[in-house]
Amino acid sequence: MAKPLRLGIAGLGTVGTGLVKIVQRHADLLAARTGRAVVISAVSARSRDKDRGVRLGGYAWEDDPVALAQRDDVDVFVELMGGADGPALTATQAAIAAGKDVVTANKAMLALHGNELASAAEAADLVIRFEAAVAGGIPVVKALSEGLAANEIARIMGVMNGTCNFILTKMEAENLTYDAVFAEADSLGYLEADPTLDVGGIDAGHKLSLLASIAFGTKVDFDAVRLEGIEKITIEDIEQAADMGYRIKLLGVAQMSGRGLEQRMSPCLVPASSPLGQLEGATNMVVLNGDAVGQIVLRGAGAGEGPTASAVMADVMDIARGIRVSTFGQPAASLTQAKTAGSNVPAPYYLRMQLKDKPGALAKIATVLGDSGISIDRMRQYSHSDPTAPVLIVTHKTSRPALGEAIAAMAATGVLAGEPVALRIEEV
């Protein structure tokens, strides 16, 4: 049997301790499946004395993750600290400089610095693997970079933040407001320290930018991802969408067209009967469309100790087996800088607005839409007792710029009470 593969693990939070448990529990299984032992040489974390529920006495301890990355008895640096910059980035750079392969779950670091890190690693004949950075336990990175490598990918679509899916499905199931379910998610520990990372779509946007790079052979460009969170979604939106056969999801979409690469993370309506429409709770789902394989649907746990640690270990095992794949599926030097495309692919839209309850109000809105070249598919006005009337409009296919112009023109009609909510209806 080959010599053991020696790990240095930086970060002993939920995922880090989960990884230690796998190594300790499945030592024989890992060796049988990789042809060599996988062992932990040293670990690093902020607190040495914290009880983490795992045995750490047999491992060397480093207070400084950079020192861990530079140890002679470490072959693979496993970065599980998190954070786009700071210690995670510094230690990862140190590991590459010291000739170590890297496994990370850090989507923020790769979304912002992945191009430079991949170039540095590949120049040194090293690999960076990051299955756990996207969709937790779902092997979507491996699916794109290996299993579907012979396909031209047409589109990536998915629910990539379990917290947002938990909030939206809980609102619907229990008829609760956004604020009420947000508070529950916070109490359960589902939200990041900065909740905007979750509900603002930033966390999911990081993941989408990484998948888009693999799928389309482009440099990671998180700044080009159009982000819109779920903060404005009301229980009325959810109920009215359900009334028409749809469910609301925070949906990531990346697709290449003649205009360039479109990347967006925003609330959308999807058919309730579709796989995405049926997705419940904190589960993730990614839908991939390839020219040879057709549509592939991957569903599973998007976070948590076991699923994420499983994904980390899958990358470690590939390295143990001698499988070495470029960070983003092809050599970093061959990745192109994609032209950024807006959301110009036509689609139907859901519009919710409050109109002042006076004669001709609805006619003015219809006229504005018509003047913008937007036709109405369905329109409903719900009963009300307030001086404003809730109105729901579903358009035929139109472009987002045209819809934006129409919404801007509505403000001049004098019949709107508040800003309209516009959600894309996505074909799945």
Domain ranges of the chain: 2-104, 146-300, 349-425
CA distance 86 to 97: 17
Please report the pLDDT score of residue 165 as a whole number. 94
Residue reference for tokens 């299993």: 147
Please report the pLDDT score of residue 144 as a whole number. 97
Please report the pLDDT score of residue 248 as a whole number. 96
Superfamily of domain 146-300: Dihydrodipicolinate Reductase; domain 2 (3.30.360.10)
Please report the pLDDT score of residue 427 as a whole number. 82
Please report the pLDDT score of residue 177 as a whole number. 93
User: Which of 100, 142, 170, 207 is flagged as catalytic?
Assistant: 207
Please report the pLDDT score of residue 342 as a whole number. 76
pTM exceeding the 0.75 threshold for the entire prediction: yes
Please report the pLDDT score of residue 1 as a whole number. 64
Residue pair 251/267 in contact (Cβ under 8 Å)? The answer is yes
| 339 given a catalytic annotation | no
Residue pair 6/69 in contact (Cβ under 8 Å)? The answer is no
User: Could you tell me which CATH class the domain 2-104 is placed in?
Assistant: alpha beta
User: 164: Cβ–Cβ under 8 A, 6 or more apart, which residues?
Assistant: 198, 199, 201, 204, 229, 230, 250
Please report the pLDDT score of residue 273 as a whole number. 94
Axis-axis angle for helices 27-34, 305-321 (nearest 10):
40
pLDDT tens for the 428 residues of the chain, in order:
689 999 999 999 999 999 999 999 999 999 999 999 999 999 999 988 888 889 998 999 999 999 999 999 999 999 999 999 999 999 999 999 999 999 999 999 999 999 999 999 999 999 999 999 999 899 999 999 999 999 999 999 999 999 999 999 999 999 999 999 999 988 887 888 889 999 999 999 999 999 999 999 999 999 999 999 999 999 989 998 998 889 999 999 999 988 899 999 999 999 999 999 999 988 999 999 999 999 999 999 988 889 999 999 999 999 999 999 999 999 999 999 999 987 767 899 999 988 887 888 888 999 999 999 999 998 887 766 678 888 899 999 999 889 999 999 998 898 898 889 899 999 88
Instruction: Provide the CATH number for the domain formed by 349-425 in this structure.
Output: 3.30.70.260
Which segments of 103-161 does DSSP mark as H helices, in order? 107-123, 140-142
Please report the pLDDT score of residue 282 as a whole number. 87
